[in-house]
Chains A and B, each alone.
Chain A
């Protein structure tokens, strides 16, 4: 069992050259832009978010390199154990973790805090990729799908229970994308969607907190309660709109610096970008995300192993889902829920998750010519 692939002096040069620098570069670029935004948004706050985020970015680079060195075949082989460990960690946090911001999801690690649910995302994608790739026929049989569905349902329900609605929601695009690639039929997909909808409905009635219901409702009528839940949507939209084409400049965002904007350094960091750098800044960051995702898709397309392809797609779907939901939420297209923007939002464990995902994709890219 070789976890790390041994560097081969003959192929090392070729390997370094073939590293997807665009993938790594866009990730680093986005992280640095995020750091600048956090520095602007937190200038009035007492906590030094900039140094902390810098530390997380450095840690993220290390995690990325480490993840790139890991042999994916080993990971895939032990996917079930990794998955079980991750689910156990999430369950532990769900029932014993301490509360932060109304949600029980943080495990204290040296004062920084980490979320096992982020680690669980990777574990779930690993196991899903392995299972879905096993069906070597164009359409996997429906019966086998239930076990697959359970793989997703357990962590989703646990995370939703914390309650971290956003975190649970972000599994949806992942399942959808991976199922679509694996060729799950329309009928099976509809059946699964119906079950998911029923589950979500039950969750909504029994498990949703009042503030969560308010948020969902306020999305539909943001003007009704300007200082309540709709206030955040409204202030965020004002931040975005007032940024105009080129923005107000670094540190000049009045919506973020005068604290009209909710959580400007985490979930609403994109609103800070929109306000201070305008549509130009928005376009640049979206272009960087497209560059990142495009390169990821290129890695997936080059894959010769279905499991690898599915793994890359699953990881990319997580990133893309967060990007699309967060940017749509900031401008008021989707209800506000705690979904951070990859690489840009302040927060350690999600940064590490993104870097780990990037590292895995880069590692898979490096080994595309290596036979399993």
Chain B
């Protein structure tokens, strides 16, 4: 019984301890429950967001880039489907192994892929980035299999679109090309992401914003391995396709111009002198813009940039040249406008003359004999214009050259358009730090010396003569026409010059431009390169010293519709090399005989 009592006492004691233990257990439950309260009630918003970020992924819907048509609605640029390879680096167990795997399928160099990944260093790791473009279908299949088998869940195939320039190098300078935005550009424009393509030159750059459209977004549910669940989109904002663009360009004329320059270095510009609508603008050598459509590696880039004669340069606007005798149009307009000469007054050309203690030669060493202004233009006599130059003086020459659109940007809108040079004493002092020498005026009078113009500027100058005194603003976009700017020129003066230019083609140095299809007026130019070497900085010295061949023209003579400027770098004589090309351009444009 005693033992029984002791047992009872022990049980009682234990029961007391158990109550304490139960109380601490309850306290433990309270602590844990408090933690759940904290996370589920106090901090629930934060964790809700984290859960949403876990499961939702926003996929970009690329906006198809706008199409580009020529003036008659012919498609110049379209988009074709292509597959691109993206990589989500956060899902890769071993990035080096991933790159090796991709390089093997793509048959590319591992280092090259690693270099392209290097550019995404600043992009968060779980944002898929572009690894390669333009995959072939069997490559797509292999990446899809690797993703499904969970061997390489980091790879994603994205259906995308690639730019197809239907006429390749024939429209390359005009339409331009695309490339990925740099990190700095992405910072500036938040709508741009790595893997986008933006216009880098030509129309692609000029109308980039409109062509680009607005990317959309697709919000999808993904599992922990990044695979998109089949439940459909959580949210979707469709992409807004880019606007289509219609150009003023005439595809047939553009193609003809490029064909004419095949094998030559130079540029051809054709525009409507009534409003400045550019009908053709080509530069040779050209390049294949499809090389830029995908990812361009360093090697390809260097090959294009470093190719002979700089194919990326658009010679119609990116470079300037001495205009040679084409400049005599400016001289004639200046002289007649200021009434300084009697156009019928004859000047004798004996092949050379002496001015400012120097001997000046005519290109025709036999001499032209006595010539009036009309005859001097017809035969492009240098002696006549040397004397005219001395009479006009450099300031007057520069003023009229400027009025007619030389030595200033035409406003076509393409980047890196060069201004050229219309020299005068102020320019000499500021740019060269030396005074203007009167002898230089004599050189400028025949388009030599420091004067530099682009083929497009010559087209604007010619248009002003052809349209009766309006400086047009060249444009390639059909909706970008601006009213031509009237320049205070006497219509009779211009009528005289037009008659003389028609005579150049009919009877003078421009005969090679004559065609039965349409009556053409024009002016030849043969710019000496070697002469300018005396003042050009050495690094700008041309690699060859042959003459530049020019021919500027318009047709029909009455009510002109088309200005054609042909420039062939180191091509030789304008009359022999450039004029025949201009004729082919007019024939292509006017095709059948036109009524005048």
Interface residues of A (CB under 8 A from B): 136, 138, 177, 180-183, 227, 235, 237-245, 254-255, 258-260, 274-275, 278-279, 282-283, 286, 289-290, 293-294, 297, 300-301, 303-306, 309-310, 313, 320, 324, 327-328, 331, 333
Contact = CB atoms under 8 A, between A and B. Distances in A.
Interface stretch (B43-51, B196-204, B438-446, B458-466): B43-51
Contacts of B51: 238-239, 241-242, 254-255, 275
B36 A279 contact: yes
A99 B223 CA distance: 29
A301 B8 CA distance: 12
Contacts of B90: 227
A306 B222 CA distance: 57
A301 B15 contact: yes
B6 A136 contact: yes
B15 A309 contact: yes
Contacts of B591: none
Given A245-B41, A306-B7, A313 B13 contact: no
Given A283-B33, A286-B33, A310 B40 contact: no
Contacts of B429: none
B36 A331 contact: yes
- Of A181, A227, A241, A244, most B-chain CB atoms within 10 Å: A241
Given A240-B39, A241-B43, A245-B41, A305 B11 contact: yes
A319 to B, nearest CB: 11
B86 to A, nearest CB: 20
Given A183-B17, A258-B229, A244 B41 contact: yes
Interface of B: 3, 6-8, 10-11, 13-15, 17-19, 21-22, 25-26, 28-29, 32-33, 35-37, 39-41, 43-44, 46-48, 50-52, 54-55, 90, 221-225, 229
A275 B36 CA distance: 11
Given A136-B7, A282-B40, A324 B29 contact: yes
A313 B21 contact: yes
B40 A138 contact: no
Given A259-B224, A324-B28, A333-B32, A278 B40 contact: yes
A180 B20 CA distance: 10
Nearest to A259: B224
Given A282-B36, A306-B10, 16 more contacts: A136-B10, A181-B17, A182-B14, A238-B47, A238-B54, A244-B44, A286-B33, A293-B22, A294-B22, A297-B22, A300-B15, A304-B7, A305-B7, A306-B11, A324-B32, A333-B32
A240 B40 contact: yes
Nearest to B47: A241
Contacts of A243: 40, 44
Given A177-B21, A260-B224, A304 B33 contact: no
A293 B18 CA distance: 12
A227 B89 CA distance: 13
Nearest to A278: B40
Given A255-B51, A304-B11, A328 B40 contact: no
Contacts of B22: 293-294, 297
B47 A242 contact: yes
A297 to B, nearest CB: 5
A236 to B, nearest CB: 10
Contacts of A327: 32, 36
B461 to A, nearest CB: 67
A183 B9 CA distance: 13
Given A306-B11, A327-B32, A279 B40 contact: yes
- Of B10, B15, B40, most A-chain CB atoms within 10 Å: B40
A301 B18 contact: yes
A297 B23 CA distance: 11
A147 B374 CA distance: 131
Contacts of B36: 240, 274, 279, 282-283, 327, 331
A146 to B, nearest CB: 22
30 contacts: A183-B13, A235-B224, A237-B39, A241-B40, A241-B44, A241-B47, A241-B48, A245-B40, A245-B44, A254-B51, A255-B51, A258-B54, A258-B224, A259-B224, A259-B225, A260-B54, A275-B51, A282-B36, A283-B33, A283-B36, A286-B29, A290-B26, A290-B29, A294-B22, A303-B11, A304-B7, A304-B11, A306-B7, A309-B11, A333-B32
